[in-house]
């Protein structure tokens, strides 16, 4: 491996800032995307990345400065190395012969040792140059619950009680995620810094400790999550004007936040049940309204039901079946929220002329009507 300092072209006394700067400049210049097919640039890019992997991390850098290349191998044990060094200096290993280092790295490496090794290592260094990422509040989870409502509820709004499975603060650990009474330990993944380097360039909050730098024995009840899933009965308000596919936001009714974060929201995903005599067409409602032949011919004022109560409706003389009469604003009410909200709809009474029950008198009356047709009633039906 090339000496990381020369790989980045910096001196051994370069500051962390200078190292970062040198790396960014080189990484940008040598990036494979910028040098397609250039093997030499690719090699250099790898070299530079590997170098920054070490020098960009204060801990790895100091170990490299102390022990050299061997410190970068998996399973390197600083304590054993130091012990060896001490004995070597004392003459125990034939004075300054560092080949014995090989015993502390490489073969027989057990990944589970790494955590405790880092913990030991960092335990003693903590406080010296602990760069802890600020523990930012974590907002609660948004959750979605499906709910079916009758068309009447969609028009008028309603209050419903629903069962929602949602995360709630763990009662065992009060949401901390740590076993009550357990002590905080340095996070083995980030070594206590609270952040890790992504591809050697970007630092992101450490996923193991979520930027805290420390971890605690996980709470046995919630497994360290800080929340448990619980099915709760919840009273929810369905606002007037929802339709199938509407999402109703109930602020603060989602999962609890952590470290002072806001709770998440609950979203109701609405499905409106079919109604036996009213169809929904966009924001409009279509109501089949039966009328008699006399009402259809002579016109009439009839009473039409709506979800808000009965209204008077004028049937113009000579109305046929299928004629639509508009009742303005009696459809789905305007729904606020969402990107644009939803406009108010209308209700259409769709006239349906119904015949009286069959009887000799009915047939007599119909025979009279029959004489009044001037043309074939089906003459315009062409397929
Ligand atoms: Zn961590
Ligand atoms: Zn818990």
Asked if residue 162 and residue 78 are part of one domain, the reply reads no
Mean pLDDT, residues 111-128: 40
Residue 309 maps to a domain = yes
For range 76-100, the mean pLDDT: 55
In a domain, 207, yes or no: no
Residue 175 alpha carbon to ligand 1 centre in Å = 19
Report which of residues 281 and 258 the model is more confident about.
281
Verify that 148 and 254 share a domain, yes or no. yes
In this predicted structure, the answer to whether residue 232 has a pLDDT above a threshold of 60 is yes
In this predicted model, what pLDDT tens digit does every residue of 288-314 receive, in sequence order? 999 999 999 999 999 999 999 999 999
In this structure, the answer to whether residues 237 and 355 fall within a common structural domain is no
Instruction: List C-alpha distances in Å: 257 to 39, 141, 142, 186.
Output: 49, 7, 10, 24
Question: Which of 50-59, 81-90, 226-235 has the weakest average pLDDT?
Answer: 81-90
Measured distance CA(166)–CA(175) in Å, rounded: 14
For residue 133, how far is its CA from the centre of ligand 2 (angstroms)?
24
**Ligand 1 center from residue 210 Cα (angstroms):** 6
Q: Is residue 256 domain-shared with residue 149, that is, in the same domain? A: yes
Domain that holds residue 352: 278-370
Among 249, 272, 295, the domain-final residue is 272
Helix 16-30 and helix 39-55, axial crossing angle in degrees, nearest 10: 160
pLDDT digits (tens, 9 = 90+) for 320-337: 999 999 999 999 998 875
Q: Which of 222, 218, 135 is nearest to 182 (CA)?
A: 218
Distance from the alpha carbon of residue 62 to the mean position of ligand 1, in angstroms? 19
Query: Residue 355 corresponds to which tokens in the numbers above?
Result: 């015949």
Which of 264, 268, 280, 284 is CA-nearest to residue 327? 284
| 289/255 same-domain check | no
Residue 73 in domain:
yes
Which 8-state DSSP code applies to residue 261?
P
Specify whether 158 is located in the same domain as 265: yes
| Residue 324 within any structural domain of the chain | yes
**pTM exceeds cut of 0.95:** no
Tokens for 319? 């109305």
Which residues, in sequence order, are CB contacts of 260 under 8 Å at separation 6+? Answer: 137
Q: Which ligand is nearest to the CA of 218?
A: 2
Domain boundary among 64, 94, 125: 125
Is pLDDT at 266 greater than 50 in this prediction? yes
The answer as to whether 179 is a domain residue is: no
Residue 89: CATH number of its domain: 1.10.287.110
Q: Which ligand is nearest to the CA of 175?
A: 2
**Between the CA atoms of 15, 21, 26 and 27, what dihedral angle is there, to the nearest 10 degrees?**
110
Note whether 147 and 261 are same-domain residues: yes
**Position 28 in a domain:** yes
Residue whose C-alpha is closest to residue 201's, from 64, 68, 51: 51
Number of domains in the chain: 3
pLDDT level of residue 89 (50, 70, 90 thresholds): low
Same domain for 235 and 305? Answer: no
CATH number at residue 236: 2.60.260.20
Residue 154 and residue 263 share a domain: yes
Q: Is the pLDDT of residue 95 over 80?
A: no
Closest ligand relative to 212 C-alpha: 1
Record the tokens describing residue 353, joined without a space.
Answer: 């002329």
Note the ligand closest to the C-alpha atom of 190.
1
Q: Decide which of 272, 292, 307 is a domain's last residue.
A: 272
Q: How far is the CA of 121 from the centre of ligand 2 (A)?
A: 29
* Residue 378 domain flag: no
Tell me the ligand closest to 115's alpha carbon.
Answer: 1
**Three-class SS of residue 157?**
coil
| Domain co-membership, 266 together with 148 | yes
The closest of 285, 250, 242, 277 to 149, measured between CA atoms, is: 242
Task: Looking at the structure, tell me whether residues 9 and 49 fall in a common domain.
Answer: yes
Which ligand places an atom closest to the C-alpha of 191? 1
Give, in degrees to the nearest 5, the angle at Cα 161 between 157 and 162: 110
**360 pLDDT higher than 90:** yes
Do both 51 and 154 map to the same domain?
no
Residue 88 lies in a domain: yes
Distance from Cα 169 to the centre of ligand 2, integer Å = 8
């Amino acid at each position: 491996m090339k000496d990381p300092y020369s790989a980045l072209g910096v001196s051994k006394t370069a500051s962390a800032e200078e190292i970062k700067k040198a790396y960014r400049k080189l990484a940008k210049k040598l990036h494979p995307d910028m040098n397609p097919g250039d093997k030499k640039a690719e090699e250099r890019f790898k070299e530079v990345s590997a170098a920054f992997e070490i020098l960009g991390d204060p801990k790895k850098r100091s170990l490299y400065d102390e022990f050299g290349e061997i410190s970068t191998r998996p399973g390197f044990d600083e304590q054993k190395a130091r012990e060896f060094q001490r004995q070597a200096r004392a003459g125990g290993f034939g004075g300054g012969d560092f080949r014995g280092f090989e015993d502390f790295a490489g073969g027989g490496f057990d990944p589970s040792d790494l955590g405790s090794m880092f913990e030991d290592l960092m335990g003693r260094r903590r406080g010296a140059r602990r760069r802890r990422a600020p523990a930012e509040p974590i907002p609660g989870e948004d959750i979605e619950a499906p709910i079916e409502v009758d068309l009447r509820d969609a028009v008028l709004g309603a209050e419903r009680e629903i069962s929602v499975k949602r995360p709630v603060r763990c009662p065992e650990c009060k949401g901390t995620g740590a076993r009550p009474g357990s002590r905080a330990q340095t996070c083995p993944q980030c070594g206590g810094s609270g952040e890790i380097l992504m591809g050697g360039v970007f630092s992101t909050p450490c996923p193991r400790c979520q930027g805290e730098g420390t971890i605690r024995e996980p709470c046995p009840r919630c497994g360290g999550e800080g929340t448990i899933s619980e099915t709760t009965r919840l009273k929810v308000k369905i606002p007037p004007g929802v339709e199938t596919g509407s999402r109703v936001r109930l602020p603060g009714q989602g999962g609890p936040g952590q470290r002072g974060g806001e709770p998440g929201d609950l979203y109701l995903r609405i499905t409106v049940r079919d109604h036996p005599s009213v169809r929904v067409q966009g924001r409009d409602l279509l109501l089949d309204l039966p009328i008699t032949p006399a009402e259809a011919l002579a016109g009439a004022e009839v009473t039409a039901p709506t979800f808000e109560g009965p209204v008077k409706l004028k049937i113009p003389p000579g109305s046929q079946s299928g004629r639509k009469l508009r009742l303005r604003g009696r459809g789905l009410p305007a729904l606020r929220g969402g990107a644009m909200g939803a406009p108010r709809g209308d209700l259409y009474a769709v006239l349906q002329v119904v015949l009286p029950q069959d009887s000799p008198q009915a047939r007599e009356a119909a025979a009279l009507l029959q004489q009044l047709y001037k043309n074939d009633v089906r003459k315009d039906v062409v397929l």
